[in-house]
């Protein structure tokens, strides 16, 4: 049963990827392409300017390596070692894991814990994968949530010398699920660039990096996911070159309990899935690791605080879709964004 649902989930994401590619390719030449299920999602890599199979294989190997080090579900991973030694001793990790954890702590600090890498105990308690189920007959109790909440605090994530990481209380758990795919996309980009590739789409389950431009010096046309349309349709098109586009939303991984939706992004202040006016948020940035952490953070922060945080950062923009079916874009993106779904209202934010 599980495998059938997993198959349906994978199929849905593949269809979604096809929708994205449908609007991004529009190119004479067929790209060199590869699709795999990795990092708990469907990844799709497409190279347009070279038939460089070696680059593709190297990228896939690197993704597997990142997953093997950063997944909390893999027993031998660095993250698992950190978690198993919480409150016991610091753990020496690979350079890349150390770098991602440093970044994770940075984004936790600037978002005041809206992005919270030590959210693990609550993620495990809720266990919202969105794969097995759409309906549940119970949710965690208030006591359980309170107990786990006490184990969540990025201030207790210690980044030490000599690549050592320490969670300083027993029961704490690091979860890099909200940032690792962004880092991975940056790594695939690095590998492609090293191979002299200047035209590619790197799609790690909706965490997209549009490398260079289309063959004829045109921008890529990237579809922004419509959170109200579960069939994977996009609500609008964004023209970009050399940019990361990362989306967080409540439409993919969630379950329902007594008619209410419980999605997979947890508010570290309440211990419950975040509740605010945001239905979806897409971050446009140079580095995908930034986009990944920030999309998760802004989903929790909401529009007002989210825009305030974005205003402190350079070269990072956000597209919010709120539950009133409004699409809020910053003025700087106005010329590059086209709303395609007429049921939604476009709002240009000039702050
Ligand atoms: P997705 O992985 O679906 O693209 P996100 O990048 O927003 O979405 O990451 C969500 C994942 O991050 C969750 O599945 C969980 O593992 C972890 N997570 C949940 N809540 C938070 C949070 N507040 N801060 C950091 N990570 C979180
Ligand atoms: Mg994220």
* Residue whose CA is at the smallest distance from ligand 1 atom 19: 265
* Residue whose CA is at the smallest distance from ligand 1 atom 5: 178
**pLDDT tens across 113-157, in order?**
999 999 999 999 999 877 656 788 899 999 999 999 999 999 999
Can you give the CATH number for the domain in which 260 is found?
Answer: 3.10.520.10
pLDDT of residue 351: 72
Sign of CA dihedral 138, 129, 114, 66: positive
For residue 184, name the pLDDT band (cuts at 50, 70, 90).
very high
* Residues within 5 A (CB) of ion ligand 2: 178, 292, 295-296
Residues with CB under 6 A from ligand 1: 115-117, 119, 123, 175, 177-178, 206, 248, 253, 264-266, 268, 292, 295-296, 300
pLDDT of residue 236: 97
Please give the average per-residue pLDDT across 47-73, as a whole number: 97
Extract the tokens encoding 18.
Answer: 């096809």
pLDDT of residue 217: 83
Please give the average per-residue pLDDT across 253-277, as a whole number: 94
pLDDT of residue 9: 53
Q: Over 70: is that where the pLDDT of 58 sits?
A: yes
Burial of 198 (0-12, 13-18, 19+ CB in 10 A): middle
**pLDDT tens across 335-346, in order?**
999 999 999 999
Alpha-carbon distances, residue 104 vs 12, 97, 178 (angstroms): 30, 10, 9
Nearest ligand, CA of residue 117? Answer: 1
Q: Over 60: is that where the pLDDT of 14 sits?
A: no
Residue to mutate (ligand 1; options 38, 80, 103, 265; most atoms within 8 A of CB): 265
For residue 95, name the pLDDT band (cuts at 50, 70, 90).
very high
Quick one: which atom of ligand 1 is closest to the CA of 206? 4
Q: Over 50: is that where the pLDDT of 75 sits?
A: yes
Q: Over 90: is that where the pLDDT of 320 sits?
A: yes
Extract the tokens encoding 301.
Answer: 């922060």
Q: What is the largest CA-CA distance in the chain?
A: 59
More confident residue, 246 or 232: 246
Pairing of strands 345-349, 326-330: parallel
**Nearest residue to 131 (alpha-carbon basis) of 225, 246, 37:** 37
254 contacts 264 by C-beta, under 8 angstroms:
yes
pLDDT of residue 128: 87
Alpha carbon of 177 to ligand 1 centroid (Å):
5
3-state secondary structure of 135: strand
- Print the domain residue range for 346: 1-351
**Nearest residue to 218 (alpha-carbon basis) of 30, 26, 32, 29:** 26
Residue to mutate (ligand 1; options 39, 41, 264, 281; most atoms within 8 A of CB): 264
Mean pLDDT of the chain: 92
For residue 159, name the pLDDT band (cuts at 50, 70, 90).
very high
Nearest ligand, CA of residue 293? Answer: 2
Q: Over 90: is that where the pLDDT of 112 sits?
A: yes
Nearest ligand, CA of residue 300? Answer: 1
Number of folded domains in the chain? 1
**Residue 284 to residue 157: CA distance in whole angstroms:** 28
pLDDT of residue 2: 43
pLDDT of residue 28: 54
**Residue 39 to residue 79: CA distance in whole angstroms:** 14
pLDDT of residue 167: 98
């Amino acid at each position: 049963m599980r495998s059938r649902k997993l198959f349906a989930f994978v199929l849905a994401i593949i269809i979604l990827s096809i929708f994205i590619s449908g609007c991004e390719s529009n190119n004479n030449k067929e790209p060199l392409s590869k699709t795999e299920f990795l990092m708990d999602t469907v990844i799709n890599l497409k190279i347009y300017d070279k038939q460089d199979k070696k680059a593709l294989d190297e990228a896939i190997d690197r993704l597997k390596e990142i997953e093997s080090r950063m997944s909390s579900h893999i027993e031998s991973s660095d993250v698992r070692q950190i978690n198993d030694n919480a409150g016991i001793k610091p753990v020496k990790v690979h350079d890349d894991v150390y770098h991602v954890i440093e970044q994770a702590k940075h984004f936790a600090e600037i978002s005041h814990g809206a992005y919270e890498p030590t959210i693990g105990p609550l993620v495990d308690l809720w266990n919202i994968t969105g794969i097995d189920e759409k309906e549940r007959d119970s949710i965690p109790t208030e006591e359980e949530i309170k107990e786990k909440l006490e184990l969540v605090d990025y201030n207790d994530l210690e980044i030490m010398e000599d690549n050592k990481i320490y969670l300083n209380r027993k029961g704490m758990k690091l979860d890099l699920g909200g940032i690792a795919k962004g880092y991975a996309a940056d790594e695939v980009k690095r590998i492609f660039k090293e191979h002299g590739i200047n035209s590619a789409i790197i799609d790690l389950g909706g965490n997209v990096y549009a490398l260079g431009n289309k063959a004829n010096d045109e921008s890529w046309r990237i579809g922004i996911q419509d959170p109200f349309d579960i069939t994977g349709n996009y609500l609008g098109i964004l023209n970009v070159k050399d940019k990361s586009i990362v989306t967080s939303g409540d439409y993919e991984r969630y379950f329902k309990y007594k008619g209410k939706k419980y999605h997979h992004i947890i508010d570290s202040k309440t211990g419950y899935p975040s509740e605010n006016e945001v239905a979806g948020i897409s971050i446009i940035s140079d580095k995908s690791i930034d986009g990944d952490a920030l999309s998760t953070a802004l989903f929790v922060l909401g529009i007002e605080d989210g825009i305030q945080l974005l205003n402190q950062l350079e070269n990072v923009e956000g597209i919010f879709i709120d539950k009133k079916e409004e699409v809020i874009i910053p003025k700087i993106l106005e010329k590059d964004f086209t709303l395609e779904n007429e049921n939604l209202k476009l709002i240009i934010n000039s702050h």
